[in-house]
Amino acid sequence: MKIKLIAICILSFTLINVNAQRLGIKAGVSLAKGTYEYTESSFSTENLTGFHAGLIGEFPLSDNVFINTGALFSMKGTKLNVLGMGIDFSVNYVEIPLNLAYKYDLGVVKLFGQAGPYAGVGISAKMKGGGEEETLDFGSETDQIKRIDYGVNIGAGVEIRKLIIGVNYGLGLANMSNDPDETMKNGVLSLSAGLWF
């Protein structure tokens, strides 16, 4: 399974490099605040601060419309408050977005808005709280979490020559839990800066 995931990631990087009209890099801060419910009871959640970084690519469809994609390392999860104890639940992904973007040219500055689906492959996960830390396994058992995440992105930002500054929200649609009484979904607000090569 791990060999297949590595092969998928390498293939994704290769396709981005071969097909993109423009390549770049981006990185930034992520505020992850997933949703958590157990037996129809919602638990309060707070932002879990992380980061994201990786390659980005762009394919023009017209003068103003583009397809944006990439391969990003992305930290997700949430902070839970269970019986008065704070628990950090974090999952790291390799994520591939596929956004349709519209750019409005103001000369030196371009404004853009974008939206589209994403898919992510979990590479590590852990839970930390009460002075203890536990590594979580991916799989199909009830005490494991699902490896594949997917959802939709919506974002906006500015381009100043080769510099990109943007904000994005990723709404997870996949339930990461295998427990029929439990629901966990990702939600991440990201602030990023990037640079076209």
Range of the domain at 77: 2-196
**Whole-number pLDDT of residue 11:** 52
CATH number at residue 111: 2.40.160.20
The model's pLDDT over 111-146, given as tens digits with 9 standing for 90+, comes to: 999 999 999 999 999 988 878 889 999 999 988 999
Q: Give this prediction's pTM.
A: 0.84
**Whole-number pLDDT of residue 15:** 53
For residue 121, the tally of other CB atoms under 10 A from its CB is 19
Q: Which helix (H) or strand (E) holds 157?
A: strand 148-160
Q: What amino acid is encoded at 1 in this protein?
A: M
Taking the C-alpha atoms of residue 184 and residue 77, their distance in angstroms, rounded to an integer, is 9
Write a three-state SS string for 56-94: EEEEECCCCEEEEEEEEEEEEEEEEEECCEEEEEEEEEE
**Whole-number pLDDT of residue 100:** 96
Taking the C-alpha atoms of residue 27 and residue 194, their distance in angstroms, rounded to an integer, is 6
168 and 112 in contact (C-beta within 8 Å)?
no
Taking the C-alpha atoms of residue 151 and residue 139, their distance in angstroms, rounded to an integer, is 20
- Average pLDDT score over residue span 28-38: 90
**Whole-number pLDDT of residue 115:** 97
Q: Give, as one character, the DSSP assignment of residue 99.
A: E
The domain total for the chain is 1
